């Protein structure tokens, strides 16, 4: 959860070795938005940021340096990889813009894809691919009687996965492709592009910010009105509550135990564990997005919404218009549409959906479980698209459905998504099998009262979490408006209350965000 802020404030007996230790990167304790160290540093950062508000170059340089330091505190010296990506794509995009020949433009875009996707393949998939090659060689050796191939083995290097590499590479790819498609002009300064790629609120876990949305804001003088300040504070507090209270607590005290050893629990406990993980990953990831959007607002930048109450969706199509919107829209614009989208006939459309989601699953990690998770969603999207052509009453957006169909669609969609979360979270396919077997053959609903008594805190937080999630949008807007219009004293009091709740609820150290591993 959040560290005690008072422990981070220096006293008169200042120990510079401890200060140095705080400022250096520690692999076992990367800096997070929900840590006291970050909030302490951010307060100091904002003080100087205000002084540079009207000095464009100085402000951009200052924020860029702080962003690189933030990434250093998250991934160590791998911040150099971020600079390499930014420098490479900045000059490649320049080349695309000035090239007259179409083949040169395509060659440069291909070069950008090779650089960015090559890094992803090495850092995320090298071990997976090497293991696959070794298994194939063993299989060939077994069938051909070649003992050398059968006994072949090699040791793989221990590859560190830089935090957020999937996000900043996708962001950089979108810039080059948009320049190629003529949707945006290139930036004139390398510093501006590094600023865009490294902007710390969204750097390590998204949202994936499009260049055409962000770049026009770079040279504007930041204007943080009272309304923006209140909205930013509301989002930060909501994100902190989601992550550090709901997500971390139910994870540490229940969900992790069930997924680590599903065979030790009854079916009803396994099912509740799945429901708990569905809430955990939503609160964890949307909590990060809320804090990122809120922090950006405090600096005078506005990001698009990344989550829109996805479990209220009445179809899998609607779910992907509400869940991780920046990724799903990226996959649609740069992968699905590039393959042909829905312009190549029905069958090709269904195949494009399945392929897009398979690659989306692989983006999350080099594992059969992620591939199956992506395949499940791709197949579900294709089936829903087919059903919409057969039964026009089944709309892509649940709000257009009859209330009864919407209710049924919401229940079905939620459980399809939850089944996918089993594949997403389980440590192995054997754990997936154990969990599904327990739910369908060893349910024992009679243990539910005992569960409530044994996990009272978890049950209360799950009820609160789902209640808040299924609140109407107008209720959320009303709460935001109340915070925005409140006096600064009330806003400060709300912030203090949330921080105190977080400190009281913590059961261990600060828990990394789930999407840090992607």
Residues annotated as part of the active site: 364
> Using CA atoms, how far apart are residues 67 and 86, in angstroms rounded to an integer?
13
> Using CA atoms, how far apart are residues 93 and 113, in angstroms rounded to an integer?
12
DSSP helix/strand/coil, 157:
coil
Residue 478, token pair as written in the block: 């009303």
User: Quick one: DSSP state of residue 309?
Assistant: -
> Using CA atoms, how far apart are residues 262 and 270, in angstroms rounded to an integer?
7
CB-CB contact of 340 with 438 (8 Å): no
Omega before residue 244 within 30° of 0, cis: no
DSSP 45-91: HHHHHHHTTT-HHHHHHHHHHHHHHHHHHHHGGGHHHHHHHHHHHHH
First CA to last CA distance, the chain: 21
User: Quick one: DSSP state of residue 5?
Assistant: G
Greatest Cα pair distance in the chain: 79
DSSP helix/strand/coil, 156:
coil
Residue position matching structure tokens 């959906």: 353
- Helix (H) / strand (E) containing 283: helix 267-298
């Amino acid at each position: 959860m959040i560290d005690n802020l008072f422990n981070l404030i220096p006293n008169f007996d200042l120990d510079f070795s401890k200060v140095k230790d705080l400022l250096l990167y520690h692999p076992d304790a990367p800096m997070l938005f929900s840590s006291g160290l970050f909030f302490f540093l951010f307060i100091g950062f904002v003080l100087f940021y205000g002084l540079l508000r009207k000095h464009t170059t100085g402000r951009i340089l200052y924020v860029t340096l702080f962003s690189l330091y933030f990434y250093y505190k998250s991934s160590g010296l791998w911040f150099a990889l971020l600079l390499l990506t930014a420098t490479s794509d900045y000059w490649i995009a320049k080349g695309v813009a000035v090239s007259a020949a179409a083949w040169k433009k395509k060659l440069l875009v291909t070069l950008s894809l090779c650089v960015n996707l090559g890094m992803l393949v090495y850092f995320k998939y090298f071990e997976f691919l090497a293991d696959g090659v070794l298994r194939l060689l063993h299989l060939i050796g077994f069938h051909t009687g070649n003992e050398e191939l059968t006994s072949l083995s090699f040791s793989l290097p221990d590859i560190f996965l830089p935090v957020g590499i999937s996000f900043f590479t996708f962001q950089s790819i979108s810039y080059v492709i948009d320049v190629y498609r003529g949707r945006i002009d290139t930036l004139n300064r390398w510093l501006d592009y590094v600023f865009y790629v490294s902007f710390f609120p969204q750097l390590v876990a998204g949202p994936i910010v499009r260049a055409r949305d962000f770049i026009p804001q770079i040279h504007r003088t930041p204007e943080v009105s009272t309304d923006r300040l209140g909205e930013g504070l509301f989002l930060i507090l909501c994100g902190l509550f989601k992550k550090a209270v709901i997500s971390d607590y139910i994870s540490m005290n229940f969900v992790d135990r069930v997924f680590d050893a599903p065979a030790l629990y009854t079916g009803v406990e396994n099912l509740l564990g799945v429901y708990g993980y569905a809430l955990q990953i939503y609160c964890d990831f949307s909590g990060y997005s809320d804090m990122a959007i809120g922090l950006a607002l405090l600096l005078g930048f506005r990001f698009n919404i990344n989550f829109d109450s996805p479990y209220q969706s009445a179809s899998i199509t609607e779910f992907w218009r509400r869940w991780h919107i920046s990724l799903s829209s990226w996959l649609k614009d740069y992968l699905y549409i590039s393959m042909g989208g829905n312009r190549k006939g029905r069958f090709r459309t269904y195949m494009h959906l399945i392929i897009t989601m398979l690659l989306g699953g692989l983006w999350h990690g080099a594992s059969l479980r992620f591939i199956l998770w992506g395949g499940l969603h791709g197949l579900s999207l294709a089936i829903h698209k087919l059903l919409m052509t057969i039964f026009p009453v089944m709309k892509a957006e649940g709000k257009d459905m009859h209330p009864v169909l919407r209710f049924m669609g919401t229940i079905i969609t939620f459980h399809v998504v939850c089944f996918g979360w089993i594949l997403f979270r389980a440590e192995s396919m054997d754990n997936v099998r154990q969990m599904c077997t327990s739910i369908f053959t060893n349910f024992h609903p009679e243990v539910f009262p005992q569960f409530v008594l044994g996990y009272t805190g978890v049950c209360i937080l799950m009820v609160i979490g789902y209640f808040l999630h299924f609140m109407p949008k107008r209720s959320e807007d009303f709460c935001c408006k109340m915070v925005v219009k409140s006096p600064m004293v009330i806003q400060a009091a709300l912030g203090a209350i949330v921080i105190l709740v977080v400190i009281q609820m913590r059961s261990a150290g600060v828990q990394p965000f789930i999407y840090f591993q992607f």
